Amino acid sequence: MGNDGGGYGGWQMKYWRKPLDLDRVKIPHGEVRIIVDRCKGCGFCVEYCPKDVLALSDEFNRKGYHPPKAVRPGECVNCGLCEMICPDFAIFSVSLTSEDAAGAPVVVVSPGATS
């Protein structure tokens, strides 16, 4: 265990052993979708994302809040924690196949836009 710059507060756990089925396990990937005008900028999704995919943007939404943005979209593991913790239902993730995960874009949904 050490401080190597990742994880919560710069601390990240190092695994001292590998799972026996490591070659058969596929890491899930997801695509983060944000409904910008529904967000109130509480930052719960940013704080609790286990892969530090999200950060609060410098831009404002219609309500005057700073919505989140994906700073590392390819790192999303589709855990769904952001959508579970969001009090405004303004963010969710969609599962991607391994072919889609290579260039996982972030989709920002605004009212009136079709997705």
- pLDDT value at 57 more than 80: yes
Average pLDDT, the chain: 82
Please indicate, yes or no, if residue 47 is contained in any of the structural domains.
Answer: yes
Please indicate, yes or no, if residue 13 is contained in any of the structural domains.
Answer: no
State the pLDDT confidence band at 8, using cuts at 50, 70 and 90.
Answer: low
The residue with greater pLDDT, 22 or 98, is 22
CATH number at residue 37: 3.30.70.20
pTM of the model: 0.66
13-24 pLDDT, tens digit per residue, is 666 777 788 788
- The single residue listed with the structure tokens 């831009």 is 59
Specify the pLDDT at position 115. Answer: 46
- Identify the domain containing residue 83 by its residue range: 26-109
State the pLDDT confidence band at 12, using cuts at 50, 70 and 90.
Answer: low
